[in-house]
Structure 1
């Protein structure tokens, strides 16, 4: 099943930090991504303002997910891009099917970004928001959903990033041993 947490993870992962690869390098690429994820129609296009808003939303989400590693609340001051992006995406609450849901007020690509913002609320309501994290490896920061029982996962992959971090720590200890 593909839910709001997976959607947010995939959106954050459109920018790969380690290789500096960006799937959303232009408004046209943003529109393609939003279309492929069912957030806009085939007729909708993105403009420069939509693209800038998407980049801020993505960076803000990455900053917020960094705080989930420590299991602490996300301080407002830590993700100013997220606060600015969310403020630019007005919503209303609807009672479709008797369930309160956030509904973006914008149209086109901005509406698609509003649906991403609504996914934050939906992931929180489902209990998945705190499980969304970014890899603790500074050079990676790949978003993942922590499915561990005690929510203690720190790396996107123990095989790569976890191993890298532990190997660096081991080597540093060995350098300082007499």
Structure 2
């Protein structure tokens, strides 16, 4: 079941689609920035070191997007430019106990504050609902105020700070019903 192949936000500003192999330089431009990677999961916090590393990541994500099921890691493309400005994902959480799915997002700093993360997360939440997933979760670093605002705009319930739930250390946990 592949529900997202070329989803467009209601305001036509963004499109959600798989990352393409020829966009490794764009992904590198995003994930080589410490101001982006500081907020990512522990394994991804190190800024990317090369375009080759970005190409390998896109190859991994292509396999996830091509597999049957609702999970994926997609480019957030700004329709006006045709270029990705970030990433949105839906994945089983580490050590899930009941099929919990995590919704995640990050953007290039030039795209901060323009509503792209919220629009992309709404599309992926609708995708999750269409796949029969009843709720999605988000886990952010405690100090990541911007992602907290995105979660609030999505109508996610702030469950407070948890320690070591799916990642090492404290983080803030959110959940929203998709139906």
- Greater fraction of residues in strand: 2
Question: TM-score, with normalisation over the residues of structure 1?
Answer: 0.29
Which structure is higher in RCO with an 8 Å CA cutoff and minimum separation 6? Answer: 1
More helix per residue: 1 or 2?
Answer: 1
- Which has more radius of gyration? 1
The TM-score normalised by the length of structure 2 is 0.28
